[in-house]
Amino acid sequence: MSPDMETVASLDPDWILSPISLQGDLQPKYEAIDTDWAFLNLRSVPGMYRSIQELGEIFDRKEQAQKLVDEFAKFYKEYKEKNRGKDRPKVMILMGLPGSYIIATPNSYVGSLVELAGGENVYSDEEQEFLTVNTEDMKTKEPDIILRAAHALPDQVVEMFQKDFAENDIWQHFEAVKNGRVYDLTYEYFGMSATFRYPQALEELQPILYPESEADAQKARDNSDGAQKKAKDSKATEIYEEQKDGR
């Protein structure tokens, strides 16, 4: 990401806020202009709320920030009880990009949501947010569930996943594929940075990770089909091309 710092400086901001994932690239640029800046941890829901507390300190909004933090603490305390004592399914998360995909670890936002929901990421021993891994290595992990998320141009990504899983024979040897436990996730809920839509994301994960009835299993399949349709109907590529052409 390379913002035009002349344009940014001309706006004369008091503060610039950016995700911590971009700190290495952006901090030197922010230091070169006369403004204050902060980097927010949006890699997880708890990280987002820690950042909210920090913003409360910075902008003298401690009471409002603490109210949001308390609401999350109450929500999560109740949510945890849903799956207490249940066996944790092994999950592999593919983050799709136009033309390729990478593995999302627990250090990514999508990975943190799965951990929050009680899933066990098969790449939990990695420090990076994302990994480039070949399918042979993925097969050695033998996940119970494969989740497919989309970053940018979801209409292209969902078609790429469908084509690859249909034509790349190695997928047919995964137990998750044999058992029909491959799911597409709604791209608005499972992005690169934490948002206040995390309750909807956790609700979508619940029947996927812990189906307790055929109705739950069907709901998981229906949600996946709905995520595919929403991605295809997003017209993301068309919108991107129009913006690129200045239309």
Residues 101 and 142 occupy one common structural domain? yes
In angstroms, the CA 180 to CA 144 distance is: 10
pLDDT band for position 1 (50/70/90)? low
**CB-based contacts of 71: which residues, under 8 Å, 6+ apart?**
none
Nearest to 19 by CA among 4, 48, 41: 41
The 3-state secondary structure of 90-114 reads EEEEEEEECCEEEEECCCCHHHHHH
**pTM for the whole structure:** 0.91
Residue-level pLDDT at 247: 54
Query: Do both 62 and 161 map to the same domain?
Result: no
22 lies in the same domain as 45: yes
Q: pLDDT tens across 108-165, in order?
A: 999 999 999 999 999 998 889 999 999 999 999 999 999 999 988 999 999 999 999 9
pLDDT of residue 80: 87
Instruction: Residue 14: give its domain's CATH number.
Output: 3.40.50.1980
Residue 246 has what pLDDT? Answer: 63
Looking at residue 9, its amino acid is A
Range of the domain at 164: 87-232
Q: Examine the fold and report which residue of 25, 50, 80 is the final residue of a domain before the chain moves on.
A: 80
Q: Which residue has the higher pLDDT, 161 or 21?
A: 161
Instruction: Look at the block and give the residue holding tokens 């943190």.
Output: 112
**Do residue 138 and residue 63 come from a single domain?**
no
End-to-end CA distance of the chain: 22
Bridge partner residues of 104 (DSSP): 130
pLDDT > 70 fraction of the chain, expressed in percent and rounded: 98
Amino acid 143 reads P
